[in-house]
Structure 1
Amino acid sequence: MHRPIAQTAPVLLFDSGVGGLTVLEELRTVLPQAPVVYAADTAGLPYGTKTEAQIAARVSGLLGRLTERLNPRLVCIACNTASTIALGMVRDVLEVPIVGTVPAIKPAAAMTRSGVIGLLGTEATVRQAYVDRLEAEFAADKRLLRHAAPGLVEAAETKLRGERANPAAIASAVDGLRRMPGGDAIDTVVLACTHFPLLEEELTAAFGGGVRFVHGASGIARQVARLLEGQDFARVAPDYALTTAPDALPESFARAMARYGLADVRSV
Structure 2
Amino acid sequence: MCQKPTILFFDSGVGGFSVYREVKALLPDNQYLYCFDNGGFPYSEKSEQIITERTLAICRKIDKDYPLDLIVIACNTASTVVLPALREAFNIPIVGTVPAIKPAAEISQTKHIGLLATKGTVKRQYVNDLIQNYASHCVVEKLGSTVLAEIAEQKLRGSSVDLLALNEELKVWRDIDDLDTVILGCTHFPLIKDEIQICLPQVKYFIDPGKAIALRVKKLLENVQVRPIKETKNLIFCTQNFKYELVFQQALSLWGFNELRVLTGIGE
> What is the TM-score with the length of structure 1 in the denominator?
0.90
Q: Quick check: 1:98 aligned with 2:91?
A: no
Residues 242, 266 of structure 1: 8 Å contact kept: yes
* Cα distance, 1:29 vs structure 2: 1.5
User: Against the structure 1 CA distance between its residues 232 and 91, is the aligned structure 2 distance closer, same or farther, given a 3 Å change threshold?
Assistant: closer
- The aligned residue for residue 60 of structure 2 is 64
* Cα distance, 1:62 vs structure 2: 1.5
Residues 7, 232 of structure 1: 8 Å contact kept: no
SS at match of 2:45: coil
* Cα distance, 1:172 vs structure 2: 2.6
SS at match of 1:7: coil
Q: 1:185 aligns with which of 178, 185, 190?
A: 178
Q: Quick check: 1:250 aligned with 2:230?
A: no
User: Against the structure 1 CA distance between its residues 248 and 158, is the aligned structure 2 distance closer, same or farther, given a 3 Å change threshold?
Assistant: closer
- The aligned length equals 260
- The aligned residue for residue 259 of structure 2 is 264
Q: Deviations over 1:180-224 (max 9, x none)?
A: xxx332100000000000001101111124431000111111111
Q: Structure 1: which 5+ runs fail to align?
A: 1-5
Equivalent position amino acid for 2:151 in 1: A
Residues 182, 203 of structure 2: 8 Å contact kept: no
User: Against the structure 1 CA distance between its residues 159 and 247, is the aligned structure 2 distance closer, same or farther, given a 3 Å change threshold?
Assistant: closer
Residues 122, 143 of structure 2: 8 Å contact kept: yes
Q: Deviations over 1:59-96 (max 9, x none)?
A: 12222222222210101101101101111111122222
Equivalent position amino acid for 1:60 in 2: L
- Root mean square deviation, CA, Å: 2.1
- The aligned residue for residue 3 of structure 1 is none
Q: Quick check: 1:157 aligned with 2:153?
A: yes
Whole-Å separation in 1 of the counterparts to 2:38 and 2:252:
13
Q: 2:113 aligns with which of 112, 117, 141?
A: 117
User: Against the structure 1 CA distance between its residues 73 and 193, is the aligned structure 2 distance closer, same or farther, given a 3 Å change threshold?
Assistant: same
* Cα distance, 1:247 vs structure 2: 5.4
Residues 69, 224 of structure 2: 8 Å contact kept: no
Moved more, 35-44 or 234-243: 234-243
- The aligned residue for residue 208 of structure 1 is 201
SS at match of 1:184: coil
Equivalent position amino acid for 1:137 in 2: N
Q: Quick check: 1:28 aligned with 2:21?
A: no
How much identity, in percent, do the aligned residues show?
35
User: Against the structure 1 CA distance between its residues 162 and 142, is the aligned structure 2 distance closer, same or farther, given a 3 Å change threshold?
Assistant: same
Equivalent position amino acid for 2:240 in 1: A
Q: Structure 2: which 5+ runs fail to align?
A: 264-268
- The aligned residue for residue 222 of structure 2 is 229
